[in-house]
């Protein structure tokens, strides 16, 4: 039964977990209580209907038993009157009612079980609702305190010496990185100049060697 499944879900719900996971705990607990109240009303209605159906089935079962007994009496009367054919017809009717009686008995038993299940669900849901209503203000207050404590801790950490030191360390790292980049660029430029000067010196040396060679061969 879908109704009993929904009730079972509400009864098993952990209010503390629901509030902890909710973005808006106050709204969450109010919604849970509203759902419980709605389901409670539906279960009460179903209990009343189930009990009424049970009484109807019990009445039909009783009427069927009376019919069975009545046709047995008619069969006995027919036997007394030496009317065997009528007795057979009456007995057939009594057997038919007796068979229906078995079906009614089973239906009454099933309906009684359904009534008990609904009553049990109603009682559990009523207890859970009472618990939720009693805990509502306490749970919300606890959650608000927990959030306030968390914010206070975060603020304290943000202004703590550790946080400040960490900020300075990050700034130092940035400065060191900038200095390293500048030094690397300077070294690259220096290497480039030295390479150019070395090339010029090499060219001068070659020109001098060429001049000496020409002088010797001239």
Question: For 54-76, what is each residue's pLDDT tens digit?
Answer: 999 999 999 999 999 999 988 99
CA dist list (Å): 141 to 30, 121, 195:
14, 30, 76
Cβ-defined contacts of 126-135 (< 8 Å, 24+): 126/40, 128/10, 128/11, 128/13, 128/36, 129/33, 129/36, 129/37, 129/40, 131/15, 132/15, 132/29, 132/32, 132/33, 132/36, 133/33, 135/15
The Cα–Cα gap between 30 and 139 comes to 11
Q: What is the total count of domains within the chain?
A: 2
Domain end: 108, 124, 159, which one?
Answer: 159
Final residue before a domain boundary, out of 136, 159, 182: 159
Tens digits of residue pLDDT in 121-165: 888 888 888 887 877 777 777 777 777 777 766 666 555 555 556
Q: Is 66 in the same domain as 143?
A: yes
What is the per-residue pLDDT for 180? 67
On whether both 71 and 125 belong to a single domain, the answer is yes
Task: Tell me: do 152 and 207 sit in the same domain.
Answer: no
- Give yes or no: residues 132 and 202 share one domain: no
Are 36 and 125 part of one and the same domain? Answer: yes
Of 31-40, 70-79, 109-118, 193-202, the one with minimum mean pLDDT is 193-202
Instruction: Domain of residue 177: give its range.
Output: 165-218
Residue 111's pLDDT band, with cuts at 50, 70 and 90, is very high
Helix (H) and strand (E) counts for the chain?
5, 0
Residue 82 gets the label, from left (phi > 0), alpha (psi -120 to 50) or beta, of left
- The reply to whether 134 and 182 lie within a common domain is no
pLDDT of residue 166: 65
d(CA 209, CA 195): 21
d(C-alpha 122, C-alpha 106), whole Å: 24
Indicate whether 126 and 206 sit together in one domain: no
């Amino acid at each position: 039964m879908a109704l009993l499944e929904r009730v079972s879900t509400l009864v098993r719900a952990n209010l503390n977990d629901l509030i902890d996971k909710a973005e808006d705990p106050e709204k969450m607990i109010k919604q849970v209580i509203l759902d419980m109240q709605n389901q409670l009303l539906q279960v009460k209605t179903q209990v009343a209907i189930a009990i009424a159906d049970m009484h109807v089935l019990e009445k039909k079962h009783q009427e069927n038993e009376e019919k069975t007994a009545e046709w047995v009496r008619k069969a006995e009367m027919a036997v007394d009157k030496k009317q065997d054919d009528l007795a057979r017809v009456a007995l057939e009717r009594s057997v038919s009612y007796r068979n229906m009686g078995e079906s009614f008995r089973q239906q009454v038993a099933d309906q009684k079980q359904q009534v008990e299940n609904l009553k049990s669900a109603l009682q559990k849901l009523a207890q859970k609702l009472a618990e939720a209503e009693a805990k509502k203000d306490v749970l919300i207050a606890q959650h608000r305190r927990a959030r306030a404590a968390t914010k206070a801790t975060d603020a304290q950490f943000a202004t703590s010496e550790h946080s400040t030191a960490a900020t300075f360390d990050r700034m130092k790292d940035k400065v060191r990185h900038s200095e390293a980049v500048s030094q690397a660029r300077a070294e690259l430029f220096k290497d480039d100049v030295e390479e150019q000067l070395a090339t010029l010196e090499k060219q001068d040396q070659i020109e001098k060697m060429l001049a000496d060679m020409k002088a010797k061969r001239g």
